[in-house]
Every structure is written in C-alpha cells, then in structure tokens.
Amino acid sequence: MDEMNWKCFKCGVPLTKKAVVFEYMNRSFSHEVPVCPQCGKVFISEELAEGRMAEVEAALEDK
Amino acid sequence: MSGDFTTADDLAAHGRDYVKVGAGDIQRIVTLSTSGSTGNGKRLYFTAGDLRRTIDFFRDGMSQICAPGDKVAILLGSPSPDGLGRLLEEGLREMGAVPSLLCLPRDYRETAEALESLLPDTLVGLPVQMRRLALMTPRLRPKTVLLSGDYVSLAAVDTITRLWQTRVFTHYGLTESGLGFAVQCPLLLGQHIRASELQVEIVDPDTGESLPEGEWGEIVFTTLRREAMPLKRYRTGDISRLLPGVCPCGQPGPRLDRVLGRVTEMRKPVSIYALDELLLRDDALLDYEASFRDGMLTVVTEGGDPASVRALLTETYPGFAVRVSPGVIPPSAQKRMVKTL
C-alpha cells in the first residue's frame, strides 16, 4: 500500500510524511507517518499499528 | 484444551476475545511473554476499577505485615505506571506506611547499600534475591519480609528468618489474578485467598477433575468482579491445595497451603524446587543456575565450594552426570527454572 497516495477527506489535500511523537505509559517515541498538512490529522496504517506500534507497546507493558 | 477451562494458550491466541469493555475503559495492559507452547505473549487488560481492587487487596494484606509509619522497601517491579511496583506503593501509602519503590535489583551491592541507608521495617521481594541480601547485609534486621513472585523455598525462608531475626510472610499471585491472590496471615498458617475477587478450585493437572480440600493439584481460579477481562476457570499451572477448616488467626475464608511450584517444572527429571531446597541451605552459596540435558546436570554457583556442591548433587542424583563450576549470577526478573533443551 503506497501511503503517499492518501488524501485527507475533510481538507481534500494529499497527506505528507512527518515525524510524529507517540506517547504511551510515560514514554515517547517518534515515527514518520502521513499527516494532513492542513488539519494536522495523522494516519496510522494497519501495518504500523500491528507492527512497530505493537512491538513498542509490548516492550513498555511490563508488569 | 477441552472443557470450560481457560488456559494460557487460550489467552495468547485469543486474548482480545476475553476483553469485555471498550478500549476507552482500559487503564492498563500488561504483556507477558509465555514460556508455553505458543511462544506468543499474553496480554492482560485492566480497567481503573480492576486496578483499584488490586490496590485495596495490597493495602489490606500489607496492613497485616507492617504498621502505619513503617518504612517498606519494595524490591519488585518497575516504575512503570499502574504496574506492580506502583500499585503496591499506593496500597502501602493508603494504609499509612512509607513505601520506597526500589524496584527489582539490578546490582546486589547497590541494592544492599540502598537498604543499609533506608533501614526499612519491611522488605518485599523475590525469595532468592531476599535471601542473598540477607546473607550480604545480616545486620539489616527488618521486622518483616514478604516474599512473592517466584517459588518460595523453605530453605530461603529459614535463612532469611535466621539471619535477620525477622518474620517472613509469603504471597502468591499472578498477573492474570490481578496480581493479588493469597497472602499469609500473622500466624503464618496458610495463605488467605482474596475470596471476594476469586473463586478457587484445585483440579487434577492431567485429567482436569475437581479435587477436594486437602488434596494437592493445580490451582484454577474464576474472577468474580473483574471488569476488563473476566477469567473463568483459569488454569494457573501451579500446584497447591486448599487447607480445610478455619484458620486459628480468626479470619474466615478459604486458604491455600504453600505453592509447591509449576507443573511443567515438577515434571523435569530435576526441578529448581528440589535444587533450591538442597543447595540454599548453604549460607556460603549466594545463588546458582542449573541446566539439564542428556543425563547431565550442569550447575553454576556463585559462592560456596563447587566440589562439595558437586558431591552433594552426585549423592542426591546418582543417576546423573554432574558438573559444577563457579560463576557470577546477576539478578533476574525471570522465574527461576532448570534449563532443559
């Protein structure tokens, strides 16, 4: 899936890749994801959610 | 797994199916790596209400072990939000004690020094680690020690009791049970179960058949008030028995005897439980690791005399080849076991 073909439905503009900071359990990590340059909404692909994000969650979710 | 039991493999494979609340109601998730057949992690989910009930149990349980104003060193867990360390810290604060969340030791010398400055009234930690600290700082003399998180050997209890002139309590619990499960009363007879939260059965680990009070078998529990992830007849893999009758301490409710260990470990030709009881009687031996393969038992000891340890093991296990060598055993968060394969 080519993330660069995505457009923001609300704003009608193509999404651009930006480094976004994610925060979870008092820790943060940064990842480049497609973002609407106008309204700022971030797109999380299924691949990202089930891949890198799931890995980071598992690492942080210790007892 | 057949029947109406829930197993670790069920949670690893279908964990999300057990979640009964929306994502917004989940306050904390714990990921546990399984040493079971699937090799995948299990995720356990908790609402704020679930965590509150865990804190309540910790507060009530600890108020039998320490008093308001007492300094309590927590040598378990991490600073992770809403994790074991933080929840226990909160429970202790609520009963008026003064907790110090030192977390699981990373370096024994460093931890011993921190304890020598703090001079806690109570310590909470892993059995082998607390024993090692007792051997390193015999003058610490806390009033009470609570051992939890792994098999509690009689040898470790005896050593800690003797060196620190202290009273040692045990607690059995698992993340799946909401961390708390059963804790010894002031008379140190049996472990009182959190009966308002957990219904406990003992079953035959091979057939799943229910066993009566007094018979040893696998601990199975059903949660009664869990919100995020209620569990029905969850098979813990741990062996114990329900003690019959009323406890002389006066508290009503069901009690567990000592937890003898995990079924999977007990089925090995030599278990860590047997080795703990045998080797941890030697005050010179700080810690050890063991592995077993093809009839050969290999042990690494820190402290103690490898030749006499080897002689003791050869005498106890005449059918095995035994190799003992000295080494350094750093602190570990993992459950101790004899490595096979």
Whether B80 and A57 lie within 8 Å, measured CB to CB: no
Of B148, B198, B197, nearest in space to B173 by CA: B148
Q: 76-105 in B: which are within 8 Å (CB) of A? A: 77-78, 80-81, 83-84
CA of B52, closest CA in chain A: separation in Å? 16
The pLDDT of residue B48 is 98
CA-to-CA distance for B43 and B56, rounded, in angstroms? 23
Q: What are phi and psi of A48, to 5 degrees?
A: -70, -45
Give A57's contacts in chain B (Cβ within 8 Å). 29, 31
What's the N-to-C CA distance of chain A in angstroms? Answer: 36
Q: Residue B16 has what DSSP assignment?
A: G
The pLDDT of residue A4 is 66
CA of A24, closest CA in chain B: separation in Å? 10
Confidence of residue A1 (pLDDT cuts 50, 70, 90): low
Q: Are strands B255-256 and B234-240 parallel, antiparallel or unpaired?
A: unpaired
Give A61's contacts in chain B (Cβ within 8 Å). 29-31, 43
Give B31's contacts in chain A (Cβ within 8 Å). 57-59, 61-62
Q: Are strands B285-293 and B296-303 parallel, antiparallel or unpaired?
A: antiparallel
* A60 lies within 8 A of chain B by CB: yes
- Compute the average pLDDT of residues B58-81: 97
Compare all CA atoms of chain A with the CA of B77 and give the residue at the minimum distance. Answer: A63
* Amino acid at position B119, single letter: L
SS3 B303: strand
Q: What is the pLDDT of residues B159-199, one digit of tens each?
A: 999 999 999 999 999 999 999 999 999 999 899 999 999 99
* A63 lies within 8 A of chain B by CB: yes
Of B228, B113, B240, B101, nearest in space to B175 by CA: B228
CA-to-CA distance for B29 and B16, rounded, in angstroms? 12
The pLDDT of residue B60 is 96
CA of A50, closest CA in chain B: separation in Å? 14
List, in order of start, the domains of chain A with CATH numbers. Answer: 3-60 (3.10.20)
Whether A61 and B29 lie within 8 Å, measured CB to CB: yes
Q: Residue A7 has what DSSP assignment?
A: B
* B310 lies within 8 A of chain A by CB: no
Give B39's contacts in chain A (Cβ within 8 Å). none
The pLDDT of residue B41 is 83
CA-to-CA distance for B137 and B115, rounded, in angstroms? 9
CA-to-CA distance for B327 and B75, rounded, in angstroms? 24
Q: What is the pLDDT of residues A17-38, one digit of tens each?
A: 999 999 999 999 899 999 999 9
Q: Indicate if the pLDDT at residue B154 is higher than 60.
A: yes
- Radius of gyration of the CA atoms of chain A, in A: 13
Give B32's contacts in chain A (Cβ within 8 Å). 63
CA of A22, closest CA in chain B: separation in Å? 16
* B43 lies within 8 A of chain A by CB: yes
SS3 B164: helix
Confidence of residue A2 (pLDDT cuts 50, 70, 90): low
Query: Residues A32, A35, A41, CA angle at the centre, nearest 5°?
Result: 125
Q: What are phi and psi of B99, to 5 degrees?
A: -80, 150
Architecture of the domain made up of B268-340 = 2-Layer Sandwich (3.30)
- The answer to whether the CB of A32 falls within 8 A of the CB of A20 is yes
Percent over 70 (pLDDT), chain A: 94
Q: Indicate if the pLDDT at residue B2 is higher than 90.
A: no
Q: Are strands B122-125 and B98-101 parallel, antiparallel or unpaired?
A: unpaired
The pLDDT of residue B1 is 44
Q: Are strands B167-172 and B182-184 parallel, antiparallel or unpaired?
A: antiparallel
Fold type of domain B8-262: Rossmann fold (3.40.50)
CA-to-CA distance for B142 and B178, rounded, in angstroms? 28
Q: What is the pLDDT of residues B34-60, one digit of tens each?
A: 654 444 689 999 999 999 999 999 999
| H or E element that contains B27 | strand B26-33
CA-to-CA distance for B114 and B107, rounded, in angstroms? 11
CA-to-CA distance for B178 and B19, rounded, in angstroms? 14
Compare all CA atoms of chain B with the CA of A54 and give the residue at the minimum distance. Answer: B31
What's the complex ipTM? 0.85
To the nearest 10 degrees (0 to 180), the angle between helices B154-164 and B127-136 is 30
Q: What is the pLDDT of residues B8-34, one digit of tens each?
A: 999 999 999 999 999 999 999 999 986
Mean pLDDT of chain B: 95
Q: For residue A22, list its beta bridge partners.
A: A29
| Environment class of B257 (CB within 10 Å of its CB; exposed 0-12, middle 13-18, buried 19+) | middle
* A57 lies within 8 A of chain B by CB: yes
CA-to-CA distance for B228 and A49, rounded, in angstroms? 21
| Domain coordinates in residue numbering, chain B | 8-262, 268-340
The pLDDT of residue B40 is 62
What's the N-to-C CA distance of chain B in angstroms? Answer: 25
- The answer to whether the CB of A38 falls within 8 A of the CB of B7 is no
The pLDDT of residue B228 is 98
Q: What is the pLDDT of residues B228-285, one digit of tens each?
A: 999 999 999 999 999 999 999 999 999 999 999 999 999 999 999 999 999 999 999 9
From residue B281, give the alpha-carbon distance in Å to each of B155, B191, B278, B301. Answer: 6, 24, 6, 13
The pLDDT of residue B341 is 78
Q: What is the pLDDT of residues B193-221, one digit of tens each?
A: 999 999 999 999 999 999 999 999 999 99
